[in-house]
Amino acid sequence: MSDLGPEPADPAVSPPPNVERAEPVSQERIRMGAIRDEVNKVIVGQGSVLSGLLCAFLADGHVLLEGVPGTAKTALVKTMAAAVNLQATRVQFTPDLMPSDVVGQMMFENGSFRFRQGPVFTNLLLADEINRTPPKTQAALLEAMEERQVSIDGATHLLPRPFMVIATQNPVEYEGTYPLPEAQLDRFLLKLLVDYPSPDEEFEILARHHGGMDPHDPLGSGVEAVANAGSFAAARAEVLAMRVEAPILRYMVALVRATRDSPSVELGVSPRGAAALLAVSKAWAWLSGRSYVGPDEVKAMAKPTLRHRLQLRPELEIEGVTPDQVLDGLLAQVPVP
């Protein structure tokens, strides 16, 4: 997905034209490209969304996908799970879903109680239409997303590693939905907007369907596992080693603090949001083949990292002002080092 406007909100894996790579391409970077090739066997377009998902994997964070129905959000996640050889579980969030349906519960069997794991015990949890379930059930994911564990009756149960939540929501249908609270939104590393495909991409989608492709069967479409949990662990080690100079850190701080001082914003970005911006900027720079983070990486990741952490003033929301518009203004105002 690319936002409408002169400046893309989300990155692409390849570096910008005329920018040389600062470091040789490592085997882990090549493997990330192989994941993209496998996903493209099923998914047409949505390259920037896939790039964002890869950044989230590399930064060990969670993703909120927002887009209208039928834009391949679920198919993208299922295909990526097949390409990275991780266990994936899909939960359809509905108004009658209970917390125990997600995290598990104590069961009395054979004369004693034992813990029966819920679908959250997986590597990749697809929380489909997360805003269709009440806040009580949404909150069941808070501990899992933040601490990678769940607590039942005083006992702590660790989740598999890696663990990642990819949640989807429909931005145009509000009847029967429960908006995610700020505490829940802040747990998502990125909010990626899934847009309609271009005319050429939509033609290719129809051609593939006409040829018999089943988007719900990645393995049947020839998708192969080209990475695993160990691959991401090795890649994350390289991402953590990225160089970030003090002026870039101050630039991130200035952007975050500008959201708190903006007259358009009622609640600005938290320190967790600043740390998220640092993590994904390092991941994006690493995907671009660099050994350091520059202002361009920060600007490229600012909107997908911060857009869901802003609470605009009610009167501006009524007028149709969006967080992205506010962030565009702040990016233009904050001096670039």
Which single residue is written with the structure tokens 């995907």?
287
DSSP 126-185: EEETGGGS-HHHHGGGHHHHHHSEEEETTEEEEPPSS-EEEEEE-SS--TT--PPPHHHH
Question: What amino acid occupies position 274?
Answer: A
What does each of the 337 residues of the chain score in pLDDT, given as a tens digit?
A: 344 333 333 343 344 333 444 455 677 888 888 888 888 888 888 788 888 999 998 999 999 998 887 787 888 888 888 888 888 889 998 888 888 888 888 787 777 778 888 899 999 999 988 888 888 888 888 888 889 998 888 788 899 888 999 998 887 666 667 788 888 888 899 999 888 888 898 898 899 888 888 877 787 778 888 888 888 888 888 899 899 999 999 999 999 999 999 898 888 899 999 999 999 999 999 988 888 899 999 999 999 999 999 888 888 878 888 899 999 999 999 999 8
The domain locations on the chain are 1-94+123-129+161-180+188-241, 243-337
The CATH architecture of the domain made up of 243-337 is Orthogonal Bundle (1.10)
The amino acid that residue 12 corresponds to is A
Q: Give residue 173's pLDDT.
A: 62
For residues 39 and 82, give the distance between their C-alpha atoms in angstroms, rounded to a whole number.
9
Q: What are 34-55's pLDDT values in tens digits?
A: 888 888 888 888 788 888 999 9
**Tens-place pLDDT, residues 223-268:** 888 888 888 888 888 899 899 999 999 999 999 999 999 898 888 8
The CATH architecture that domain 1-94+123-129+161-180+188-241 belongs to is 3-Layer(aba) Sandwich (3.40)
Q: How far apart, in whole angstroms, are the C-alpha atoms of residue 132 and residue 128?
A: 9
Strands 164-169 and 88-92: unpaired
DSSP 240-280: HT-B--HHHHHHHHHHHHHHHH-TTEEE---HHHHHHHHHH
How many CB atoms within 10 Å of residue 5? 10
Cα gap 168→172, rounded to integer Å? 13
> Tokens 């691959």 sit at which residue?
231
